[in-house]
Structure 1
C-alpha cells in the first residue's frame, strides 16, 4: 500500500472531524412568549400597565394614567331678591336711626314752653344744617309759627302733626316717582345711570337690577364705564347673582358703542329693561361730560332713553347740588337716586335737590347690603324721621 495515499486520507478525515466542531452549532432554544403586562390600580382608581424591564431595549412606550379632568365649577346660584313693594317700610328702622337727630331736635325745640324769636331761629338753623336749604327752611318756620299761634296750645301730638305736615309739604311733588322700566313696542326700556366717582353709581346699577328682578323683570346690564376695568368686573358680579347678562368691552373702548350693544342685546333677548352704567365723570371735565351726552344720543338712534337717573351722595350736601346742576345741563335728568342716606342726619337734601332740579327723588340707598335700595316714599321717610323721636 502506498503510505502517501493513506496519509492523505487520514488528514482529510481529521480535517472533516475537527471542522464540524466549529461549523455545526446546536440550535438556540426559542424564547418563551412574553407574558402580557401586569395591570395595577392607582390611587385614583385608574388601571395602568406596569412598565417593561429597563434592560430590554426597543420595548414599547409606557402607558401613563391620564390625569383626571377637573370638574367645571358649578354655575352661581341665581338669587331671587325681594320685590320693591314695602322695601322702604322694611328699612324704616335703619332710616330712623340715621335721621333721629333731625327729628328729635326739631320736636324738642317745638315742644319748648316758650317759643320766642331765638327758638325759632334755632329751629331754622337746624333745618338749614340738615341741608333743607335756606328758602325751604324759612318757609317751614314761617308756616309753623303761624299755625302754632293760631292753635294756641301745643301738645306733643299736635307738635308732631304740625311738623309732619310741613315736612311732607316740602318733600311731596306732583311728579311721578316711579322708575319707568316697562318695555314698549320698540323694545326694552332703557335706564341710564350717571354720576361722579364715589357716589355708588355702579353699585346702584347692580342694586337696581336686583329690584327689577325681584319684581319679575328681565334685565340686561351695559358696562359703559370703560375707563375703569374694575367697574365692569363689579357689574358682572352683580349680574351673575340675579342672572342678568352684562355687555362689556375692553378697558378704553368707546362707551357709546357698549351702550348701543347693550340695547341691541336687550332687544334681541326680548328683555324688559336695559340698565347702562356710565363712567364716574368729573363734572369739571367738559370733554367727559360731552361724551356722556354722546352715549345718550347713540342710544337714541336705536330706542328712546326712558330714564336718566343721577346718583348723588347724601353726605356731600351743597357739592352734590353743584354736581347735579352740571349733569342736568348735559342730559335730561329724570330722577335722583340718593345714596348713603343711612349714614347722615342731613336728609333735608331731598327737599333741596328736588327744588333745584325740578325732578323727584325716586330711589334711596339705605345701607351696603344688596337689597338696601328702595323706592322713595315721602310718608314713610317723614314717619321714620319722627317716629323714634317722640
Structure 2
C-alpha cells in the first residue's frame, strides 16, 4: 500500500512538473521557405518533417522540459520577401532557416551583423561551413564540393584504388548550383589522372539532347550528374536513348522517390545517388512519428511523404538543431539566446540522430559537421547502400572552403 502511494505521488509530481515546464514560453524555430515556386520539390517535406519532429518532441516532454514551436512562412524564392520574413521572425525565433540559395545569400549579411543563428542546409554558400568566418551560419551537412569529392572517392575504391585511364563525365545544369563542383572535379583530375569532360545543359533542364549525344561519344566509365527534380527523369530517358546504362550514373543528393516513380521503378534500376541521410521508414524516430502522430490522425502532412528522402533530410536537420538547443539548455539554462544557441550547436559531438545520419561533430571551426555522405543504388524496389559514410579528399575540400571564405572575409573587411 505504501509503495503504491509513493508511485501515485511520484506520478502526480511528474505531471505537475510537466505542466509547469510547458507553461513556459516555447522555443521557436523559423522556416522561411519557398512554398510556391522553385523549391517546392523539397520544401513541403522539410517543413512537414520539422513540424512532425516538434510534435513528437513535445509529446515526449519537449527539449529539457521546454515546448517547441515551428513557424513556417513563404518567401516564394524572392530575396526581398526572404529578407522581410527574416526581419519578422528574428525576434521571435531562435534560428531562421531559408532553404533557398538566392534568399540565403541575401539574408546572410544581415544574420551575421545581427548575431542571429541562420540554418543553411544543402543551399547557400558552400564556404559557410567555415565557422571561423561565418560565425552565425550553420549548414549542418556536406558541401557540394564535398559531395563531388565523395563520389569520386567512392569510384576510386570501386576501381581498385586507381583512376588513371578512367573517363569521368560531369553532367550538369548550366547554373551556379550545377557549376559549383567543377573546380574540385578539375583538381581531382590532376591528382588522380582520370580523363574529365564537362557536359552542361541549359535551364530549365528539359533539353539535354546535345549534352547526351556528346557524352555518348566520350564513352565514360562514370557520369556524375548535378541536377534536381524532373531533370533526372529527362536524363534517364536520354541515357536509354543513347544506350548508356544507368548504373554508370551517380547523382548529387537531389534525387528522390518521386523522380524514381516518374522514371519508372524498373527502368531506374541501377541508378545511384549520394546521400547525407538514410532512406526509407525503417528507423526508430520515423516509426515513432508514424505510430504516435499519423496513426492517430495528428501528422502534419501527407503520410506518403514520410518515406521520402527529403523528409528524412529535414528530420535529420531538425534533430540536429534540437540537439543543439538541448545542449544549450543543459549548459546555459533558459531563456535561450542566439549566442547560447550558437554555442549549443558548436557543442554537438558525434550526433547521428539515432542512426538517421552519419555522426556529426560541429565545432567553432566546422559548422558542417564533417561532410560525410554515402552512395546508394536503386535496385528496382528500394535504395541499397553501396558504401560506408565517408568524407573523401578533406584537404582539397577545406582548401576550397578556405579560399572562398577568405575572399568573403576580405570583401567584408574582416
Category of TM-score, reference length = shorter chain: under 0.3
Q: Structure 1 length as normaliser, TM-score?
A: 0.27
Q: Structure 2 length as normaliser, TM-score?
A: 0.26
